[in-house]
Amino acid sequence: MKLLKNIKTTAINVLQNEAHALLNLVPHIGDEFEACVADLLQTSGRIVVTGIGKSAIVSNKIVATLNSTGTPSLFLHAADAIHGDLGMIKKEDFVICVSKSGNTPEIKVLVPLLKQLGNKLIALVGNKESYLATQADYVLYAGIAEEACPNNLAPTTSTTAQMAMGDALAICLLSARGFTAESFARYHPGGALGKQLYLRVADVMDRSLLPLVPEDASLKDVILEISSKRLGATAVVGAKQRLIGIITDGDLRRMLQNDPDLSRIRAGAIMTPAPKTIESDAYAVKALGLMRSFNITQLVVMEAAKVIGFIHIHDLMKEGIV
């Protein structure tokens, strides 16, 4: 079918159109953008983002990004603003008005009201000559040559440009504030992402299971220790629980294949010296990275040069980190 043959071409054209539009915005990031970010950093208020139609949906997304990266923000629909919701805005708040044309009727009603309230206004707009742009304190240009829609009608490339400019603003504010992974975790405590950012090894490991044997432990004692603690391994330790090595189920199987005199075997003879370890205060996601890098399923957990337990891949799976 002709229609099916055109699907790939149409999809590629859409992506190329939007990619080119974003690259064309790069020259418009200049002194005004920098001054806008500097002014936002000084404000004691919030950022109120408003728009109508598809720009309202984009505004919601920008608000979500700002809030999640440490900039207090709220969404105000432009139509609601001129029908009673202007009370949401405080005098010290910045207002970002998102509009492709900058000339919609609701925007023309709203802008003078914002000016009367004394709020600074940022126009995220696709037309620098529009009413909105000429009334704003700062203009963040998000203009495009054409929409990805073949009829140049459906908001596609224009909304992509608006969201990208909102992202650029949010990340500049994030960077200027020194917003770290730990800061991000405070705003994202739920789900796998949050757990990766705040859960530490000590929070995940089972401290009740601590398989340890001395270097001169018999094979029987090693097997009993591994079996009773159900972690598939035991640490071999010296004085003050100083780590010497590790013995895993795999070590035992390989040893048994050689059919030695089992009665004479001691832990020190079959252990793997210098095993992979991790500190108890390290992030759990770091433990996952080490396990993947070395293709192992557990790490010995250390604290003040002392063995305090193991963290197993199953511990990370239970927390949803894997």
Of the candidates 229, 177, 188, the one whose C-alpha atom is nearest the C-alpha of residue 205 is 229
Does 312 count as an annotated binding residue?
no
Q: How wide is the angle at C-alpha 54 spanned by C-alphas 44 and 170, nearest 5°?
A: 35
- Can you tell me which residue has the tokens 């990004």? 65
CA-wise closest residue to 138 among 41, 37, 61: 37
The maximal CA–CA distance of the chain, rounded, in angstroms, is: 93
Sheet strands side by side (includes 233-237): 212-214, 233-237, 243-248, 272-273
* Residue spans of alpha helices (H) in the chain: 2-25, 31-42, 54-68, 78-81, 105-117, 131-135, 157-176, 181-187, 191-198, 201-204, 219-229, 249-257, 267-270, 284-294, 313-318
Beta-bridged to residue 212, according to DSSP, are 235
Residues 6+ apart with CB under 8 A from 312: 231, 232, 297, 298
Distance CA 91, CA 286 (A): 45
- Rounded to an integer, what distance in angstroms lies between the CA atom of residue 309 and that of residue 280? 9
DSSP letter at 322 equals -
Binding residue positions: 77
Binding residue positions for Zn(2+): 77
